């Protein structure tokens, strides 16, 4: 099962920062069990939202050069409150440092201006063909898929916010 935890990009400054949103709906499948009678976004999903926003910043900054983006390490992860249905998780991620294919981000999520999650994230980008040249076609299909999702997200952001997210 895949989860897209970014509903829209509010602002993106390549090589610097991204601001994204996740609107938590009661319809989210994972809320049925977390927790019965008190549905809240699981902490791992809050972390994943930070990772996904940071990954979009990497993809845009590198002009979709790499097919694969993975979380390499999480540091200083803090959960401070709950995110419940009806809340809008405002995600901000800033590039802290880059070192070849590994980037470090300072990321946080807020609800109504109150920080609910924060972390330092190390993400790594690579192409599968770097390990096996026969996978070059898979790289190209994955990159095309990321571009399609990005374009769809841009259209949704424009519709929901009345303007395109900057790029």
Summarised one tens digit per residue, pLDDT across range 95-113 is 999 998 899 999 999 999 9
- Residue 5 predicted with pLDDT over 80: yes
Active site members: 34
* pLDDT for res 161: 60
Name the token pair of 72.
């390499």
Specify the DSSP element, H or E, that contains 70: strand 68-79
Strand partners, 20: 9, 91
DSSP state of 29: G
- Residue 153 predicted with pLDDT over 90: no
Q: Above pLDDT 70, what percent of the chain?
A: 92
Band the pLDDT of 3: cuts 50, 70, 90.
Answer: confident
* pLDDT for res 165: 47
Instruction: Report the C-alpha gap between 64 and 67 in whole angstroms.
Output: 7
Q: Above pLDDT 90, what percent of the chain?
A: 78
Name the token pair of 102.
């590994």
**Domains of the chain from N-terminus onward:** 8-161 (3.10.129.10)
- Residue 164 predicted with pLDDT over 50: no
CA atoms within 13 A on the CB side of 7: 13
For all residues of the chain together, what is the average pLDDT? 92
Contact status, residue 157 vs residue 164, Cβ threshold 8 Å: yes
Contact status, residue 107 vs residue 50, Cβ threshold 8 Å: yes
């Amino acid at each position: 099962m895949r989860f897209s935890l970014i509903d829209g990009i509010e602002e993106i400054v390549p090589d610097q920062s991204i601001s994204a949103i996740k609107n938590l709906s009661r319809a989210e499948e994972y809320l049925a069990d977390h927790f019965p009678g008190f549905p809240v976004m699981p902490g791992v999903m809050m972390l994943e939202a930070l990772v996904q926003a940071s990954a979009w910043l990497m993809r845009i900054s590198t002009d979709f050069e790499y097919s694969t983006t993975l979380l390499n390490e999480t540091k200083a992860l803090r959960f401070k409150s709950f995110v419940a249905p009806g809340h809008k998780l405002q995600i901000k991620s800033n590039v802290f440092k880059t070192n070849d294919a590994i980037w470090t981000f300072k990321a946080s999520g807020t609800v109504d201006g109150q920080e609910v999650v924060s972390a330092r994230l190390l993400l790594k980008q690579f192409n599968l063909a770097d390990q096996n040249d026969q996978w070059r076609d898979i790289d190209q299909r994955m990159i095309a898929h990321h571009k399609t999702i990005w374009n769809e997200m841009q259209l949704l952001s424009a519709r929901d916010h009345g303007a395109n997210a900057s790029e």
